[in-house]
Amino acid sequence: MFTVGSGTFGINVMKVREILQPVDVTLMPHMHPHVQGIIRLREEIIPVIDLAKAIGFSQPDQSSADKLIVAEMNQMKVALHVHSVSRIHRISWEQIEKTGTLGQGLDDVTIGVIKMEANMILMLDYEKIVYDILPENGMKSAAVDTSRAAKRKNKTILLAEDSSILRELLKNTLTEAGYEKLMFTQDGKEALETLDSNHDKGEIDAVITDIEMPLMDGHHLTKLLKEERGYRELPVLIFSSLITGDLYHKGQRVGADAQISKPEIANLVEELDRLLAVK
């Protein structure tokens, strides 16, 4: 949990590599106005994003409480300049609610809110923030093999992804590949409801799910589908920036048929072809 201006925010600790005291930055020509500069951290060059500017919050004078949160998203490291870091809270995904009207004007970059006793913690769409500031370093629509497009067009894919920018990128890449019948949901709970409402029709051929989502995460969704909901034969592919170490093994334990790490979006098409026997 950390603060920016008068706001309180959270970031998944799995994305955090370390927390630093602010250091001198090197300015670069033609920098985005929300980038303070770059720093060198153990031979890596990392951009520093002024999170207050990125979300339109007021900027108090820099103090000794300021911190740099070094985070890794989609195989890219960035340093987020925040105004204080308080503590780690252990919560369940069910505690993260959709923002609705609670986003304090941040609806386009807020994916959820956690109601605590003293305040509300907003979960930002960090992938979208980084992509908007550094599009050349973010996840991009990938060139894909379109030779099997005709065989893909009749397959219906259900996707659970809470990030608006990633939904758009997935739509562009999969549609270009020939997977034109796409059904998008924003969390595991909505995906499960969509599956149940279409169960008798047998229209959905595969599920692609993120891990981090409000209300129901991708691991829980996969477990329900594979063990409790009668969807054992339905291919489930996890597509997330958190597929490392223990979380990869957790994906295996809950029965995921494939796991692809963002931003390897081209591999997503190849895995779908394999799971759906598209040749």
Strand pairing category for 67-73 and 96-97: unpaired
Give the dihedral of Cα atoms 259, 261, 262, 264; nearest 10 deg. -90
pLDDT of residue 50: 95
Task: Return d(Cα 21, Cα 7) in angstroms, integer.
Answer: 20
Amino acid type, 116: M
Q: Phi/psi at 85 (nearest 5 deg)? A: -125, 130
Please state the pTM of the whole predicted model.
0.80
Distance, in Å, from the CA atom of 271 to the CA atom of 274, rounded to the nearest integer, reads: 5
Average per-residue pLDDT for the chain: 88
pLDDT (tens digit, 9 = 90+) per residue, 117-172? 777 899 988 888 988 898 876 555 567 888 999 999 999 999 999 888 889 889 99
More reliable by pLDDT, 156 or 214: 156
The whole-number pLDDT of residue 61 equals 73
**pLDDT one-digit tens code per residue, 23-75:** 999 999 999 999 999 999 999 999 999 999 999 887 777 788 999 999 988 77
pLDDT score recorded for residue 190: 95
- Does pLDDT of 101 surpass 60? no
Q: Is the pLDDT of residue 188 over 70?
A: yes
Residue 267 vs residues 136, 199, 247, 278: alpha-carbon distances, Å: 20, 28, 19, 14
Q: Which amino acid is at 73?
A: M
Average pLDDT (219-237) is: 90
CB neighbour burial string for 64-74, b if at least 16 within 10 angstroms, e if fewer: eeebbbbbbbb
Residue 103: pLDDT band (50, 70, 90) is very low
What secondary structure letter does DSSP report for 203? -
Question: Residue 266: its pLDDT value, please?
Answer: 81
In the predicted structure, residue 208 carries a pLDDT above the cut 80:
yes
Confidence of residue 4 (pLDDT cuts 50, 70, 90): very high
Could you tell me which residues come within 8 angstroms of residue 117 by beta carbon, excluding any fewer than 6 positions away?
A: none
What does the pLDDT average to over 63-89? 90
Name the nearest CA neighbour of 221 among 207, 202, 206: 207
Residue 222 confidence (pLDDT): 96
In this predicted structure, the answer to whether residue 253 has a pLDDT above a threshold of 90 is yes
At residue 200 the predicted structure's pLDDT band, cuts being 50, 70 and 90, is low
Share of the chain above pLDDT 90, in %: 55
Kindly tell me if the per-residue pLDDT of 79 is higher than 90: yes
Residues in the chain: 279
Strands 67-73 and 16-20: antiparallel
